[in-house]
Amino acid sequence: MKKLAPLLFFAGSILLYSFLVPKAGIVKSVFGQLPDGREVNLFTLRNAKGMEVAITNYGGYLVSLTAPDKQGKAENVLLGLGTLADYLKGNPNLGPIIGRYGNRIAQGKFTLDGTDYKLFTNQAGIHIHGGRVGFDKKLWTATPIDGAEPALKLQYTSPDGEESYPGTLNVEVTYTLQKDNALRIDYKATTDKATVVNLTNHAYFNLSGMKTDVMNNVVQLKADKYLPTDRTQIPTGEIKPVAGTPFDFTRPIPISAHINDTTDTQIRYGRGYDHCWVFTDQSTKLKLGATVYEPTSGRLMEVYTTEPGVQLYTANHLNGLVKSPQGIPYTRRFALCLETQHFPDSPNHPNFPTTTLRPGATYLSSTVYKFKVR
């Protein structure tokens, strides 16, 4: 019996360890039903460190994401809603897949290969975030991928002419919760006819764990230029240096430093920050594009992307009418978005990187949101 004791102790320790240490995996649950009766699911991905991200196959919404603070306390850092019914009521794009075209297209018009296209205009005479029924309002086919780095692959086929875009577009978006507390998003698309594509995710981050707004967040953007806009926030076509402007985040500075500088025309147009920054590194490799540090919690978010730009939006239009599942009002500047993407209105600006996708080619884009503490 004495010889068995160490073995029993070892076995018991292994059993206890298996209960105490989180396991990577995926949990699928019912999130609700669409008006036509189709079931919508919620997929909760968990890594071995205990980090979790919840995603619904309706619109590919990021519903929640937990990240530890400097004390090791995990809290949700994403603005989300509690039920499918809440999302169906309409919301300010709290974390969905945006497509076919993220951001804005002037007057909903563009010309491709000599053909004029007119899209639905859903904001002050412009086309924004895919139109009336964009990818954020579609039920995607979901495939959970279990493993040490759990993933969720979402697939949707956008038919030729949907929202007046040309071509049948086959889209895959894969969310992967990595071992190092990073959420990776990979986008892939093919088409049978020349079209324009600009996919992104519209996640709103609050690294304080919903305790304060983002005014004390310290932001750095690896971008030495930005795109000025007109009053409707359509790029003028200029690509201007950030040096000497409120748009200079080449070194870490708090959001509050210049966001209320109403002497700046661009700040007035956006009611704060709602502009596209142009990365200094224009390669398609996965590179560090932005960092956000929340000093009270100690959370640091790094954003890596293959994209040429990022739209920093400081939730200037949130008004408190939409609330968290815990009843916290989502008020102005309560969060920030870092939407990695090609430039707004690119189809109408030949000097911008092209967003045209042709048959035989594959649209590929990747973005990683990595969470640390300091």
Which burial class, exposed, middle or buried, applies to 118 when counting CB atoms under 10 A from its CB (0-12, 13-18, 19+)? exposed
Q: Which of 25, 40, 82, 370 is nearest to 205 (CA)?
A: 370
Q: Find all residues with CB under 8 Å of 181, minimum gap 6, and list them.
A: 47, 49, 51, 67, 68, 370, 371, 372
Q: Which residue has the tokens 């603005």?
A: 79
DSSP state at residue 138: S
Active site residue 127: no
Contact 292, 300 (CB under 8 A): yes
Q: How far is CA 195 from the centre of its chain?
A: 23
Three-state DSSP class for residue 89: coil
Strands 25-33 and 223-226, bridge-based pairing:
unpaired
Helix and strand counts by DSSP (H, E) for the chain:
3, 27
Active site residue 349: no
DSSP state at residue 101: B
Q: Which of 202, 275, 342, 349 is labelled catalytic?
A: 202
Encoded amino acid at 238, one letter? E
Q: Under the phi-then-psi rule, with left for phi > 0, alpha for psi from -120 to 50, and beta for the rest, what region is 72?
A: left
Encoded amino acid at 110, one letter? F
Contact 228, 235 (CB under 8 A): yes
Q: Which of 275, 307, 339, 349 is labelled catalytic?
A: 339
Torsions phi, psi for 62 (to 5 deg): -80, 110
Q: Catalytic residue positions?
A: 202, 339
